[in-house]
Structure 1
Amino acid sequence: MQEDLGAQVRSEMFKRKMSQKQLAELVGISNAYLSDIIRGRKDGPKAQEHIKHIRKILSI
């Protein structure tokens, strides 16, 4: 996930008073894996699918 996209995700989670754990549950992945995606450590094809889902959930 690009740095600016990671910032958007954190910002939107803050606005919604949503924890990272809650978002991970909605996406269907572990909290640790979500953290890796947000920080840009995971960016393969599967991670890209999760990023699409995250964008849809957060409307970004």
Structure 2
Amino acid sequence: MSEDLSIRVRNELYKRKMNHAELAKLLGISGPYLSDILNGKRTGPKAQEHVKHIRKILKI
């Protein structure tokens, strides 16, 4: 995930008063896995699908 998108995700979570755990629950993944995606440690096809869902949920 690009740094720009990671910052946008953090900003949207802040605006919505959500945390990573709540977003992870909506996505059906673990908190550490979400953190890995946001930090660019997971970049495979499955992670990219989760990025699409993150964008859709947060409307970014």
User: Which TM-score tier does this pair reach, normalised by the shorter chain?
Assistant: over 0.9
* TM-score (ref. length: structure 2): 0.98
Identity %: 63
Matches within 5 A, 1:1-60: 1-60=1-60
RMSD: 0.4
TM (normalized to structure 1)? 0.98
**Unaligned runs of at least 5 residues, structure 2:** none
Unaligned runs of 5+ in 1: none
Q: Matched residue pairs, number? A: 60
Which ranges of 4 or more aligned residues in structure 1 deviate by more than 2 Å? none
